[in-house]
Structure 1
Amino acid sequence: MKALYQGYINTNAVPVLPGSTSLDNILMLGGLSERDAITHLQKVVTEFYPQAFGCKALDLSSGRGVAAMALAEMGFRVAAYDVYRSSISVVQKLALAQELDIAFGVNGVTRLEELREKFDLIHDRECLANIVNRQERAQFLNSVRNSLAPGGKFVLTTEVWTENYDPEDSFESVRLDNNYVLWRQTPECDIPGVMAMEGKFWTAQKRIAPPEEIRLEVMSRGFKILMNKLEIPAGHGPARLKLVLTSAFAR
């Protein structure tokens, strides 16, 4: 299965697992959407980690676990965390079957210091974007920086606003406010976080700010930018900002 996993990363062919279970196929097919993220991780590891074997990596909001498995296959000892226990349990079974060095856990992303570990690489593709409160974003970035080992890297990919982005070009009922917070319409309820605006009810989903604002934000939290890449997709979706960061404080 490892060879097939590498196959879908390195080629455009969809792998077929003879005699595979439906769980295998769901995970494999679901992982196809993450090929770009894995390719980016491979490039980062090649450039910054000539000897990755034995280094420690943390994969945040691990989800399907494709990035965690890729890091483990590149030699890292991986800790994979997600806020949903059900996601972790599925990926854990797959990692055990492949004998990958991955420890799984459920944890809030703004409390990384509670892990009491330092990591050579921390990977995030969803957490920062999904935190809309500025104070909580600062807390998250501080937590990541404090959890890096000396010389460690924070590999961050986050959705950003560009002039091409049109949130209304979507099947969902959403709106982007002046603070670049994306709101999704929701049924009327009194759940905390649901806001009434213009006679409708909305819940904040993520913050999609301009790329320069994100760069300034991470630098204000004590990071230095080592790699900076902006990818603007065809159509009207949000762009992706890919950053490799390290602590600006010498240790």
Structure 2
Amino acid sequence: MIKILFEDEHLVVVHKPSGLLVHRSWLAKRETEFAMQMVRDLVGCHVFPLHRLDRPTSGILVFAKSSEIAKLMQPQFTERGIDKHYLALVRGYVNEAGHLDYPLKEELDKIADARADQDKEPQEAVTDYWPLHQVELPFAVGRYQTSRYSLVAMKPLTGRKHQLRRHMAHLRHPIIGDTTHGDGRHNKFYREQYQSQRLWLIAKALCFDHPVSGERISIETDLEQEWITLFEQFGWSTEQSGYQVLKMGLAGL
């Protein structure tokens, strides 16, 4: 279920499947499998998650093998030293690349954040995005006789909770399978037409400076088979090489 993409004596980078929690949470008390425990068992030592990846999001996740390395890595995540690249399937045609600077109010949990400041000012949130593919399907979802979707590459320049999901919803192009910020009609269509229960968002690539050697490390993961199966039905390329974002030369806007 967990695939190791990179490992040395200091770090381990894995591919997390959709639906798997990173670590234990009181919000999901019945769950018995977690990425952190799986990685620990694979590498044979305690590991420390360096960033979060939402449960329904699949893709690249980085762990440190010691608390000391975790401390060395944290500044890169807080000071934008990490380049993150995502792919998402969204509703509608995204026709042009864009740079969205749209502050987001912090999403608070009713129980866990009951004592937090409920009137906190919106936080800076910036996302670059690029359209890659489009498809029009002969199915009526809502008021139109056909349905349009786009594959979009995204690079978050900040790290707000659910930033990509909220930003795409703000652009009226919600990510398919997003049950919180998405479009319920299109989510239902994908469940019924494609037997898809997932959020169509993947952390595709990650670039960072190694905390010990200083070397720039660039890692990209493959799309899961369910993406390829869906793309085949759309008439898109089924070659993994066609979706390698680090080779696309996507530049800042």
Q: TM-score range by the shorter chain?
A: under 0.3
Name the one with the larger helix percent: 1
Q: Tell me the TM-score normalized by structure 2.
A: 0.26
TM-score normalised to structure 1 length:
0.26
